[in-house]
Amino acid sequence: MSSPVSPPSDAGAGSSRRMRWMDLLRGLAVVLVVIMHGATIPLSTDSGFREWVVVNQYLEPVRMPLLMFLSGMLLPRALRKTAGEYLWGKFAAIGWPALVWMVLYGVLIFRNGPFDAAYWATGDYLWFLLALLGCYLIALVTRKIHPGLTAAVMIATVSLTSLTILPDRILYYGTFFFLGAWLGRYVLAWSRTHPIVPLLLLGPAAVLSHLAVQDGSLRGGSWQAAAISVTCLAVVMWFAPKIPSNARTWFLEWMGRNSLVVYVTHFPILVVIHRTMDQLGADPLLHVSVTTLGGLAVTVGMVALRPWTPWLYASPRGDHRRAALSPRQ
């Protein structure tokens, strides 16, 4: 859901393929975020449609860690800029849309209004952008330190059972950001390893994800959860560069290139649809189906309108082609 790092060093067509598979993964991840919120906004886990919530819990070890890892892959290139260029770029591409949508959501949607202290302390649904901005600020301060060491320090300092506070989220998800900055250059080489290696990881990844459904601490906020996520990411990163770019992947690639728009707009849209379905007294299956599909459809419409609403997603003085979740920054 970033100002980037230098992609690994294959050139020409290889570079183009690499960017498309990164777009694909980002698109898949943000679409999964929309689907997850479509299920979890309207219904509690005992509401009669728990199965859909459980399906999304299986994906939790991958969804946001993947977005952070991909953003971290782009960090080295960003750090080649001067500090002034770097800070302005991060504000224009991440800070500005986070601020705009925090205000819009707080004024128009959030029940407690825009002046609720907890709202700003947690970042509400926009926590990812704020955590990502925090990671970029840490990266500037620690630019002389190996990102692998930064990742190790961050996960070592995580001692929490939930991820409700923004500093905790920066520490935990920042681990994947700095792992991406460290290991991103090796992804293509990893994808060429013998299939037996990822196949040996696939079984443990599936089992651990299943265990995490029963134990929330294994889905995030602990070193055990981070280990599960890293195992799952290793499998994903072996497979993703092999996916050919074609008509079947076009939609997800497009969503990936516009993933910032998807991320900041989807939640207010889902909340409005959810409240409407609540008033209609819809049954759980219809409620989730309409909220999810309707939310996706309207969000796609917001992406299509992006050329006419650029100020919603980047500072008017910034580069409007940038997006905090886009690998092309």
The one-digit pLDDT tens for each residue of the chain (329 residues) are 433 333 333 333 344 444 799 999 999 999 999 988 887 765 444 444 667 777 778 888 899 999 999 999 999 999 999 999 999 999 999 999 999 999 999 999 988 888 888 889 899 999 999 999 999 999 999 999 999 999 999 988 876 556 778 888 999 999 999 999 999 999 999 999 998 988 888 888 888 888 888 877 788 888 888 989 999 999 999 999 999 999 999 999 999 999 999 999 999 999 999 899 888 888 878 888 899 999 999 999 999 999 999 999 999 875 444 444 554 44
pLDDT of residue 49: 62
pLDDT of residue 208: 83
pLDDT of residue 325: 53
Cα–Cα dist 227/117, whole Å: 33
**Dihedrals phi, psi of 116, to nearest 5 degrees:** -75, 125
Indicate the pTM of the whole model: 0.87
pLDDT of residue 159: 62
177 with 72: CB under 8 angstroms?
yes
Place of tokens 């620690």: 142
pLDDT of residue 230: 93
Neighbouring C-beta atoms of residue 83, cutoff 10 Å: 10
- Which of 320, 311, 275 has its CA nearest to residue 104? 311
pLDDT of residue 259: 96
Cα–Cα dist 256/234, whole Å: 20
Cα–Cα dist 189/192, whole Å: 5
